[in-house]
Structure 1
Amino acid sequence: MFLQLDRVSVAYGRPGQGKAAVSAASLSLGRGQIGVLIGPSGCGKTSLLRAVAGLERVAAGAVRLGGELLSDHASGVNVPPEHRGIGMVFQDYALFPHLSVADNIGFGLAHLPRRERDTRVAEMLDLVGLAHAAKRAPHQLSGGQQQRIALARALARRPRLLLLDEPFSSLDVDLRERLAHDVRAILKQIDATALFVTHDQLEAFAIGDLIGVMQHGQLDQWDDAYALYHRPATRFVAGFIGHGVFTPGQIVAHPGGPRVRTAVGELADVDECLLPEAYPGGACDVLLRADDIVHDDEATVKACIERKAFRGSEFLYTLRLATGEQVLAHVPSHHDHQLGEWIGIRPQVDHVVTFPREN
């Protein structure tokens, strides 16, 4: 692997008395891959990024890039940030207002001959699609264009690894997702390796090959988006990713394989290793996502619409069963039922995800 973090911890304050910001986080990225760290505010994702950059010393563990040891608490190795070959893009762009767009991109290339520097700047402007804006001042560009210039400036030095700390947070929601797709295409075009930090799931899904979910300094899962959604490793990941609820279930033996009984029906697509004795008495909590519940007027299970949110092509319904359990459902928007109305629902679960019962 090109980037490797082996049980990295970061702490602030005096040694032995500091507050742990990251605890024993491990992850890896192949050359040309894009990784994303997401999680709630204060979970440690930016601290982990800063440790990779060398802006924070690791309190434990090691960081390697391209086989080179950058940080290692055990041996005391700590390569200075400027010698790591790492580029950074920040959320505030950090463009120089008194320099043109072209001069901003070329700012870190003073060591190159003039002709080579001009060629590199032109290449970067073409890469981000802003060759026409070379002579403009940063304030004459939109927020999305300024972020592209910040990206071009970081890439101009041809870093081994690019780190981006919430680079789209100051932009509106629609622009963030569009720019995330554009930035992914730019990075893939030049086979760049990058590690992002964001709090936006859609942004993470749009840009990342691998995504890490963090909470309280712990990296709960490092996986692709599909696995995070359908095979969450922890209850926190299951609740944090996508729309879903936990409902009580009972694991029962069945000739065709184990099943889980729930208030919305019996779920059959269960891992064969999930036997009734997996949890005390077979009692568990089942993750039901909005796309696991289908609106069906002929279904025997009925639910009352408590809330609905219009999403264009669909509604997100919050439903309450007669037994008291709450579930969510995506329903095509032409099925415009009223609050308080009872509708038929049935489960359509391809991946049954269970966790120990919470009281």
Structure 2
Amino acid sequence: MFLDVSQLQVRYGQQPTAAVDGVSLGLRAGEIGVLIGPSGCGKTTLLRAVAGLERASGGRIVLGGETVSEPSRHVPAEQRRIGMVFQDYALFPHLDVGRNVAFGIDRLPRREREARVTEVLKLVGLDGLQSRYPHELSGGQQQRVALARALAPNPRLLLLDEPFSNLDVDLRERLAHEVRGILKAANATALFVTHDQLEAFAIGDRIGVMHEGHLHQWDDAYALYHRPATRFVAEFIGHGVFAPAQIRLDGQEVSVQTPLGRLQDVEECPLPTAYEAGLCDVLLRADDIVHDDDAPVKAQIIRKAFRGSEFLYTLRLSSGEVLMTHVPSHHNHALGEWIGIRAEVEHVVTFERGGGAASPPASGVARQPVSPA
């Protein structure tokens, strides 16, 4: 691993709990990692510890084969060769774009410095704007200048702390895709902090979900969504709810009884013995619930959110359970209306009924259904 964080702990003063507690993660050279989680979960503290701006109280950080942090060693931030892009970009308003980008490479000979500025500005799509000032640029262009300045010294690692949070929502995801392309073209290794899932999915090779100082899962986006490691990850990523369920073994076939009826022919499912009497909570995501006027199960629309190509409906069954579903936007049903729904669940993810945030799914969740004898 190019970046190897092992059992990292960061504690502030005499606080009873650590801001970062036992976190381990790794990035290969050229990979982009993203840390995501609610406010106060420790993701920015972890980023600052990797940068050397916070001293770790335990664990180890290895960067490019060099140990930069452990109990007996703390390499100062300025010696770690790490570039940073901050939330507010931190551009110098009295310097033009060229001089902003050149700020960290002022020790290079003039011709070499100018060539490097031209190179990174071209990389971020701002070639020819060297003489502009920050106030003459759009928010997206300012963000690119900050990125070019961080890349100019050829850092070993690039750290980005919510760099799109000052931009409007429509621009964030598009810019995240563009920044990913820039980082990949530069073969940069980067660690990114955000609270926006769409940004995380757009930019990250590996995504870490943090909660109360702990890293619950470090994986790709598909695994986070379909194979969450804890109940918190299942609830935090994507749209979904937990519904009471019972796993049964009918002959040689495993099925799951839910408020929507019986789930059958699922690719993966734990055995009934994973829970007492097979009773559990099943994760039902919005894309697991299909709008079908002919379905026998009906649900009432209690909330609707227009998303352009689709609505996100929040539904309530007659039994009281609440579900969510994505519906194409030409199906514009009214609040209070009852619609037919059915379940199409391929990845059955279940948890102990009423379990806590750190509860893992049942062991054996990757087991294929029992084949008929």
> What is the TM-score normalised by the length of structure 1?
0.96
The equivalent residue for 2:316 is: 320
Q: For each residue in 1:291-327, what CA deviation from the matched residue of structure 2 results, as whole angstroms up to 9, or x when unmatched?
A: 0000111111111111111111111111111111111
Shift of 1:20: 1.1
Q: Which amino acid aligns with 1:247?
A: A
Q: Which amino acid aligns with 1:262?
A: T
1:109 is matched with which residue: 105, 108, 120?
105
Paired residues, number? 355
Q: Which amino acid aligns with 1:261?
A: Q
1:54 and 1:297 mapped to 2: Cα distance? 58
**Larger CA deviation: 82-91 vs 273-282:** 273-282
The equivalent residue for 2:164 is: 168
- 1:126 matched to 2:122? The reply is yes
Q: For each residue in 1:5-61, what CA deviation from the matched residue of structure 2 results, as whole angstroms up to 9, or x when unmatched?
A: 0010101115xx564100000000111000000000000000000110111111111
Question: Alpha carbon RMSD of aligned pairs, Å?
Answer: 1.3
- 1:228 matched to 2:230? The reply is no
**2:238 alignment partner, SS class:** coil
Contact 1:260 1:270 in 2 (8 A): no
Relative distance call for 1:226 and 1:148 in structure 2 (3 A) is same
Q: Which amino acid aligns with 2:60?
A: A
1:136 is matched with which residue: 126, 132, 157?
132
The equivalent residue for 1:195 is: 191
1:265 is matched with which residue: 250, 261, 268?
261
- 1:10 matched to 2:6? The reply is no
Q: Which amino acid aligns with 1:68?
A: E
Q: Which amino acid aligns with 1:205?
A: F
- 1:63 matched to 2:65? The reply is no
Pairs within 5 Å for 1:205-224: 205-224=201-220
Pairs within 5 Å for 1:1-359: 1-14=1-14, 19-73=17-71, 76-270=72-266, 274-358=270-354
Contact 1:11 1:20 in 2 (8 A): yes
Contact 2:267 2:346 in 1 (8 A): no
Relative distance call for 1:269 and 1:43 in structure 2 (3 A) is farther
Q: Which amino acid aligns with 2:139?
A: G
Shift of 1:271: 6.7
1:346 and 1:98 mapped to 2: Cα distance? 60
2:51 and 2:43 mapped to 1: Cα distance? 13
1:109 and 1:130 mapped to 2: Cα distance? 18
2:96 and 2:16 mapped to 1: Cα distance? 43
Q: For each residue in 1:257-312, what CA deviation from the matched residue of structure 2 results, as whole angstroms up to 9, or x when unmatched?
A: 32110011212355767111211221100110110000111111111111111111
Contact 2:269 2:347 in 1 (8 A): no
Shift of 1:104: 0.5
**1:20 alignment partner, SS class:** coil
2:292 and 2:284 mapped to 1: Cα distance? 17
Contact 1:8 1:61 in 2 (8 A): yes
Relative distance call for 1:317 and 1:111 in structure 2 (3 A) is same
Superposition misfits of 4+ residues, deviation over 6 angstroms: none
Q: Which amino acid aligns with 2:11?
A: A
Contact 2:246 2:278 in 1 (8 A): yes
2:240 and 2:149 mapped to 1: Cα distance? 40
Q: Which amino acid aligns with 2:23?
A: A
Contact 2:209 2:218 in 1 (8 A): yes
Q: Which amino acid aligns with 1:206?
A: A
Contact 2:269 2:349 in 1 (8 A): no
1:202 and 1:98 mapped to 2: Cα distance? 34
Q: For each residue in 1:195-250, what CA deviation from the matched residue of structure 2 results, as whole angstroms up to 9, or x when unmatched?
A: 00000000111100000000100000000000101111111111111110100000
